[in-house]
Structure 1
Amino acid sequence: MVLGQLRLRAELRDHTDNLYVVSHHHQYLGRVSLARLVTHQPDTLINRLIDNEQPAINIKEHAQEVARQFSYNDRLSAPVVNENNALLGHITIDNIVDIIREQAEHQAMSAAGLSNVENMFSPARLTFRRRLLWLGINLCTAFITINVVSEFEYTIKKW
């Protein structure tokens, strides 16, 4: 019966590795892997195939915690529920990769003294103040580089 409904849809979303089972009131009951579904007899009751080992992700859960769960459990997708356990949708590994990429970009910008709101049209005085530490470090390393190169000036001229 479930396979018949899937055939009527004709297409599944990307990264669909599980189907999520809900009650008549849209309460999340568990998941059924597509592999398990197609390897059982067509008349097998769906409640015999439900796997509820991996819990759903609450909509209020922090993004870093969700990324950790995906990493720890080797998930490709996970259902998302509200505080009443009603199924709201699902999150995929693509979404998690985007979250991790955004966090890495934010950390890199913070390390360079930049912020997300800073752009090329910010006033020079404000930009200078935000970058003063890194500008000072760059200036010091430039002086060190000049001193090192000047020590080898004779060797460079010979070459």
Structure 2
Amino acid sequence: MINLIKTRSNKSHFITKVTGDLRKNVFDNIFDQFEILWIERDPRVVVSSYIKQQWFYKDKPLEYKKLSKKDKIEFYSSYYMRVFNNSKSVKRKLVFYEDLCDNPEKFMRNLLKDFGLDFSEYHASQVKNRQIRKIGWSHYKSKYTNDEIKLINKLLQEPLTYYKYT
């Protein structure tokens, strides 16, 4: 299937986006060799996005409405921490969303170089002057009380420190 996709797209490599635990459940069983690019982001922003997007509650809006903000912070921080702890054992190339937003061309040039791929004029034309909307912690911070900020910082202290977001 991958060879068919590469042939039809006239590409020498195959890239796809995966979220969740598909790597363990599917990729390990299909591919002998693959590389993982892990795009990390400020954990507080990730948790805030989970809350905003109502992860796991799309089909249960009334149940979601009953949760307090504290409950949501605790639930989604716990989920984030499971993903964070599981990610430690994954062999991956770790990059940061904020770096992509700050300088897309430099980010992509370095990324392709790290994977042994050429950064062509086509690539340059695709990322040149491209503005990627950077939504950081300052955007979400105003949506929390001081106590909620302390809670989210406390619950996410390990990844915040690990990824140097503090």
Higher CA-based Rg: 1
Which has the larger helix fraction?
A: 2
Which has the larger strand fraction?
A: 1
**TM-score normalised by structure 2 residue count:** 0.18
